């Protein structure tokens, strides 16, 4: 007996964005970073009933401030004010002023047809709109600094392809519809 495993196809689309600002501080100072963003994810599966599919979307964002003088500040907005600094070295304080939504999310769907889910997206029914984000870093020392934003977004879709026997039945059914339509057009 021949054991058949279902076939599948997979698509992954990923976007990586990174930009860096460099600047010098001659005397001590404070850096205030304040911006608005709408972290939106939306995933939907709507395939033929013969095909199962899984879908997942991800976003990720982080900020890093580094200096030749040993400063290392890392901030990953997670939607929980006061919780997102993984590093705050070489400065007197790191304060999270606003962190209204997480910029690091994953949404996924199990197989189904049709199904959808979203985070902060009008199509998902829970759109929060634009959210506020901001930090204050006090006690910057003299030196050369780099502020880097790194952001990633990705979508992954996996489809299970029907077995050849199912495809043959589908093809025969479509051919039958074609013959019936051809006979009707001859009679007219």
Predicted confidence at residue 185, as pLDDT, reads: 54
Residue 136's pLDDT is what? Answer: 96
E strand map for the chain: 7-25, 29-37, 41-45, 52-67, 72-75, 85-89, 93-99, 105-109, 115-119, 131-140, 143-161
What does the domain layout of the chain look like in residue ranges? Answer: 8-162
pLDDT score at 1: 47
Give pLDDT, residue 13. Answer: 83
Rounded Cα gap, residues 162 and 125, in angstroms:
33
Beta carbons of 69 and 140 less than 8 angstroms apart: no
Radius of gyration over alpha carbons of the chain, in Å?
A: 26
**Cβ neighbours of residue 181 closer than 8 Å, sequence gap 6 or more:** none
| pLDDT for residue 69 | 92
For the chain, the residue count is 188
Pairing label, strands 85-89, 93-99: unpaired
Q: Which helix (H) or strand (E) holds 179?
A: helix 164-187
Cα–Cα dist 123/115, whole Å: 12
Each residue of 146-181: pLDDT tens digit? 999 999 988 887 776 655 554 555 555 556 555 555
Give the C-alpha separation, 85 to 78, whole Å. 10
The whole-number mean pLDDT for each consecutive block of 10 residues of the chain, a chain of 188 residues, reads: 57 88 91 88 69 80 94 92 88 92 83 66 60 93 95 81 53 57 55
């Amino acid at each position: 007996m021949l054991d058949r495993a279902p076939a599948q196809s997979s698509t992954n689309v990923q976007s990586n964005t990174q930009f860096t600002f460099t600047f010098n501080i001659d005397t001590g100072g404070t850096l205030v970073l304040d911006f608005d963003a709408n972290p939106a994810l939306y995933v939907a599966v709507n395939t033929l009933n013969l095909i199962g599919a899984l879908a997942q979307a991800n976003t990720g964002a982080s900020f890093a401030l580094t200096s030749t003088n040993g400063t290392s500040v890392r901030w990953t907005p997670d939607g929980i004010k006061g919780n997102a600094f993984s590093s705050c070295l070489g400065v007197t304080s790191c304060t999270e002023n606003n962190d209204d939504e997480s910029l690091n999310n994953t949404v996924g769907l199990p197989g189904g047809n049709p199904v959808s889910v979203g985070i902060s997206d009008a199509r998902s029914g829970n759109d929060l709109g634009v959210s506020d984000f901001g930090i204050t870093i006090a006690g910057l020392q003299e030196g050369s600094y780099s502020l880097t934003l790194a952001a990633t977004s990705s979508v992954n879709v996996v489809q299970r392809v029907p077995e050849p026997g199912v495809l043959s039945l589908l093809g025969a059914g479509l051919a039958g519809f074609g013959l019936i339509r051809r006979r009707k057009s001859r009679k007219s």
